[in-house]
Amino acid sequence: MAKLHFYYSAMNAGKTTTLLQSNYNYQERGMSTLLFIPAIDIRHAQGIISSRIGLNAEAHAFEPNFNFYDFVKNYIQNTKISCVLIDEAQFLTKEQVLQLTRIVDELKIPTLAYGLRSDFMGEPFEGSRYLLAWAEDVSEIKTICHCGRKATMNARMDNNGKVLREGEQIEIGGNDRYIALCRKHFMNGETSSNRELNTGYNAARAG
């Protein structure tokens, strides 16, 4: 039975690596997949999903007005696919999450979405809100804060490692400007356990 799966996490928890590993598992069994990434992410300008540990795969770029259901329905007239995988799924619109539910329910294709739960201000992303509400299977890809507690929040930092509290929800580029923190350290803005020796920037790189 096909299901809609949502794998959520904080920044730099290895979401993309997990996606590419799942994709590899399908392909190893001779099954075809369809991969999607948001067009807004400059790392994905050439239609490639790549992970920090060197895995990569070709993917279709999507805009907010892209219709996943129509695209997949049309695509499977010529090519059988066994799974749909979406990276950076927080950038999906509500309408697009609804389209994913139809890919699962009507086209009977398992769909795996990977995304961040909340933005740098702690607000839920639209895509993640509806994935959390509508997916049958929700799992967390865990990572830790510099203090060792589970990281659930994503802080955006300036060049000096200071946590930013205002700005646009989506800012292009600079994954190294984000750091995954536990809620307590997100709230008090501590990006490192030793601010003298270890700037927030370095902590983010090491994490």
Which candidate in 28, 63, 88, 196 is catalytic?
Answer: 88
What is the distance between the alpha carbons of residues 201 and 195, in angstroms, rounded to a whole number?
Answer: 10
* Cα–Cα distance measured from residue 198 to residue 71, given in angstroms and rounded to the nearest whole number: 47
In this complex, which beta carbon is closest to Zn ion, that of residue 1 or of residue 206?
206
How near is the Cβ of 120 to Zn ion at its closest, in Å?
A: 16
Radius of gyration (Cα) for the chain, nearest Å?
17
CB nearer Zn ion, residue 78 or residue 188: 188
19 binds Zn ion (CB under 5 A): no
Q: Which of 72, 57, 171, 168 is nearest to 114 (CA)?
A: 57
Give yes or no for residue 11 binding Zn ion (CB under 5 A): no
Chain-centre distance for alpha carbon 139: 13
Nearer to Zn ion, 47 or 122 (CB): 122
- Sole binder of Zn ion in the list 57, 145, 163, 180 (CB under 5 A): 145
- How many residues line the site for Zn ion (CB under 5 A)? 5
**147 near Zn ion, rule: CB under 5 A:** yes
Q: How far is the CB of 62 from Zn ion (least distance, A)?
A: 34
What mask of x and - would describe binding to Zn ion in positions 92 to 131, judged by CB under 5 A?
----------------------------------------
Map residues 149-168 to x or -, x wherever contact with Zn ion holds by CB under 5 A.
x-------------------
Q: Which is nearer to Zn ion, 85 or 180 (CB)?
A: 180
In the region spanning residues 167 to 206, those forming contacts with Zn ion, defined by CB under 5 A, are 182, 185
Q: Return the biggest CA–CA distance within the chain.
A: 60
Measured from the CB atom, the residue of 111 and 154 that comes closer to Zn ion is 154
Token pair belonging to 111 = 């769909």
How many residues make up the chain in this entry?
207
| Residue among 191, 59, 57 nearest 120 (CA) | 191
Catalytic, 88? Answer yes
How many other β-carbons are positioned within 10 Å of the β-carbon of residue 34? 22
Please, where are the H alpha helices in 55-139? 68-75, 94-105, 126-134
Q: Residue 37: what are its φ and ψ, rounded to 5°?
A: -140, 150
Residues belonging to the active site: 88
- Contact residues: Zn ion, CB under 5 A: 145, 147, 149, 182, 185
